[in-house]
Amino acid sequence: MAEILVIAEQRRGELAAASLECIAAAVELKQSGGQSVVACIIAQNPESYVALLSVAGVDEVITVTSVEAEFQSDIFAETLQALIEQRQPGLVLVPHSIDAWGYAPALAVRGQYGFASDVFGIRYDGDDLVATRAAYAEKVHVEIDFPGRQIVLLTVRGNTWKQVEESGNPQITEFAMPAITKRSNHETFLEPASGGGVDITQAEFMLSIGRGIDEEDNVEQFAELAESMEFTLGCSRPIADNGWLPKYRQVGQSGKTVSSCSIYLALGISGSVQHMAGMKHVPNIIAVNTDPEASIFSIARYGVVADIFDIAEELENHFD
């Protein structure tokens, strides 16, 4: 079988943790398929990431020196197309991230590769690659194969594979970036609004609200409930997007991961893939939703099919 190529990501000089998770997925596949694992880093100073990428199971690290310090979709798409054409890997893994959304689908179309996004399972059935991802708002999991495709590109869901802790000694190779005509420029990063001392990533107990609260006027009721329970208030993306709560309270892939949380009370949250990426690791998830088929029940330790306002009233009575 051809090699597995992992595309690492960095931002502001920091290697993305999702890059090491992709490597872990590749190393796991290597154990069953016997392929070599190659990690590629595109950066202004790629050598500074080599040590971090040199974990057990990685056979080679490819460095690509970029003219830009930060991510540019044109640079990634054209550089990776040239690299893939040269290397002909059987499988390319990239993090399922906002950067990958900017180039991975276009790259797959250009190269006519097999493609699937947000996968959380990868295996070989004989010589055939099979990827697992969710469908229908996470209500079902589907297995996808790629008949007739010699190269497959997958974006890998974060917080799925445990990073490899042991160090390795891979071969280091340089790849020259091709001439590229950029169609965009990175200007600056826009910092999210200050949390005013609230850091949901460090909260031990979380009460999060979603679409089920119906309207903005109901937010205050749940904010008061969270305060009474001594829980930190969080929310799903629709609440933040509507401006009902500030962005720094959003849990999820485009928000924050509640890494220190031990109890997560989800009220009126259906359980989109993006939201669950920020909290599915919590050991005690309590979900309340009127929809018995809500995706969040698939990861909750305790699930209650009920009206969140009825539950909120009972909790208010208890904590008064």
Q: What is the 3-state secondary structure (H, E, C) of the chain?
A: CCCEEEECCEECCEECHHHHHHHHHHHHHHHHHCCCEEEEEEECCHHHHHHHHCECCCCEEEEEECCCCCCCHHHHHHHHHHHHHHHCCCEEEEECCHHHHCCHHHHHHHHCCEEEEEECEEEEECCEEEEEEEECCCCEEEEEECCCCCCEEEEECCCCCCCCCCECCCEEEECCCCCCCCCCCCCCCCCCCCCCCCCHHHCCEEEEECHHHCCHHHHHHHHHHHHHHCCEEEECHHHHHCCCCCHHHEECCCCECCCCCCEEEEECCCCCHHHHCCCCCCCEEEEEECCCCCHHHHCCCEEEECCHHHHHHHHHHHHC
Look up residue 187 and give its amino acid.
E
Q: What pairing do the DSSP bridges indicate for beta strands 4-7 and 37-43? A: parallel
pTM over 0.75: no
What is the C-alpha separation between 21 and 9, in angstroms, rounded? 11
* Residue 245 CB contacts under 8 Å (≥ 6 apart), including other chains: 209, 219, 233, 235, 239
Give the start-to-end residue ranges of the domains of the chain: 4-174, 200-319
Tell me the pLDDT tens digit for each residue of 62-85: 999 998 889 999 999 999 999 999
Q: What pLDDT shows up at residue 137?
A: 61
Look up residue 286 and give its amino acid.
I
Q: Which of 20, 281, 3 is nearest to 156 (CA)?
A: 20
For domain 4-174, the CATH class is: alpha beta
For tokens 């080679």, name the residue. 60
Average pLDDT of the segment spanning 89-95: 97
* Fold: same for 4-174 and 200-319: yes
Q: Is the pLDDT of residue 101 over 80?
A: yes
What is the C-alpha separation between 311 and 320, in angstroms, rounded? 14
CATH architecture of 200-319: 3-Layer(aba) Sandwich (3.40)
Residue 72: CB atoms within 10 Å? 23
For tokens 């709560």, name the residue. 245
For tokens 């001594």, name the residue. 230
* Residue 256 banded pLDDT, cuts 50, 70, 90: confident
Tell me the pLDDT tens digit for each residue of 40-59: 999 999 999 999 999 999 99
The least confident of 12-26, 129-143, 165-179, 209-223 is 129-143
The encoded tokens of residue 29 equal: 């596949």
Q: Is the pLDDT of residue 280 over 80?
A: yes
- What sign results for the dihedral spanned by CA atoms 285, 290, 292, 295? negative
Q: Are 268 and 307 in contact (CB under 8 A)?
A: no
Q: What pLDDT shows up at residue 223?
A: 96
Q: What pLDDT shows up at residue 274?
A: 79
Q: What pLDDT shows up at residue 160?
A: 81
Q: What pLDDT shows up at residue 193?
A: 61
Measured in residues, the chain has a length of 320
